Amino acid sequence: MIRLPSLHRDDALLLSRCFYLGLIVLLFPLKSAYPIASLSAEHFHPPLGPFTLLETFPDPWVIIVIESVTYALLALWVAGVGRWRVGALLSCFLMLTSGLNYSTGKIDHDLVIVLCPFLLTLGGKWPEKSLTFCLAVYFASSGFAKISWLSFDSQASLSWALTYFYGYGKSAPLLAWSLENLPGWTWEAFDQLTVWFELCVPLVILHPFRRYIFLSIPLFHLSTVLLLGIDFSRLLLIYIPLGLLFCVLPADSHWMVPSRARAILVPTCLLGLSLSVAQGWLLGKSPQSLLHLDTPGLFLFPALEVIVVIGLLSRPKDFTAKVSKLSEP
């Protein structure tokens, strides 16, 4: 069994914050609500929550203030200032921006992502426990919404594939080929496996099933990217912190990230954040990713595989038991 070095909890939290911000800067910029501020009240259809108290979109200057505070809090959060207070405020402001973006009638799927900054500032083992719980709810709610897919009378995934190909003009790597060559029973199998997998992801909370779930998630995401072109790559904002936190052993360990590396990581992240924000202020556009990739979902599979390897190899039972004995007086 290969034994990867264990991470100190503070190491894992620092790297999680840096990866979270790094992915936002490089691939997944925060969605700005400024473009929709000019819409009339006829287009205002807020989701359930505090936005139902409003009658229309707020003035543009209000959105500018919200987003400016959001980026300031993001910088403080990455630097580790304020702990849970800054994390809570950051998640609240991210929810404000997300809620405004989804007030045109679209369904919100970002809750677990915007909650991540706050959850990563909790004490003890609560960061990984709460993130695991949110991820389980994320998948389970999607599975419950697809219960009708379990019917053998129709193939829902085939219907979606036809809609994506002919209606939306998507060109996933295997979409056209699968529509021409796959028999009907394979689409039915895809329906069944999708629903049961999403309903079974909550078993990740139980340690004996964690390895099997971790092995299944990359295969599930890869199949959806290749067949349907559905990009779940933004979930790396959750998977990477969760994978790092699972590398933390119960016993105390020394810092693995050198102080010089820590002194470089945070300023680099803040510089990237500044460049991303400057795009909006100097060029008059909403912040954009520094890496312009059309299909980041195709990079999800190897990234998830790395996380799976870490999760499988970093905490073997015999190693954990050995370290626990050594830590006893």
pLDDT bracket for residue 322 (50, 70, 90): very low
| Nearest alpha carbon to residue 97 among 122, 137, 65 | 65
Residue 164 confidence (pLDDT) above 80: yes
Mean pLDDT, residues 154-161 taken together: 88
pLDDT digits (tens, 9 = 90+) for 266-320: 999 999 888 888 876 666 566 677 777 777 888 888 888 877 777 666 655 543 4
pLDDT bracket for residue 98 (50, 70, 90): confident
Mean pLDDT, residues 208-214 taken together: 82
| Nearest alpha carbon to residue 86 among 33, 11, 17 | 17
Give the model's pLDDT for residue 21: 94
Give the model's pLDDT for residue 314: 61
Residue 324 confidence (pLDDT) above 80: no
Give the model's pLDDT for residue 85: 94
Question: Up-side HSE of residue 15: CA atoms within 13 Å toward CB?
Answer: 22
Give the model's pLDDT for residue 108: 59
| Nearest alpha carbon to residue 158 among 197, 191, 134 | 191
Give the model's pLDDT for residue 94: 92
Is 161 or 103 the better-scoring residue by pLDDT? 161
Answer yes or no: pTM beyond 0.95: no
Give the model's pLDDT for residue 329: 39
Mean pLDDT of the chain: 82
Mean pLDDT, residues 195-216 taken together: 87
pLDDT bracket for residue 16 (50, 70, 90): very high
Is 27 or 211 the better-scoring residue by pLDDT? 27
Give the model's pLDDT for residue 263: 86
Residue 204 confidence (pLDDT) above 70: yes
CA distance 73 to 67: 10
Assess contact for 227 and 174: CB atoms under 8 A.
yes
Residue 13 confidence (pLDDT) above 90: yes
Give the model's pLDDT for residue 326: 35
Assess contact for 299 and 233: CB atoms under 8 A.
yes
Give the model's pLDDT for residue 117: 95
Domain ranges of the chain: 9-320
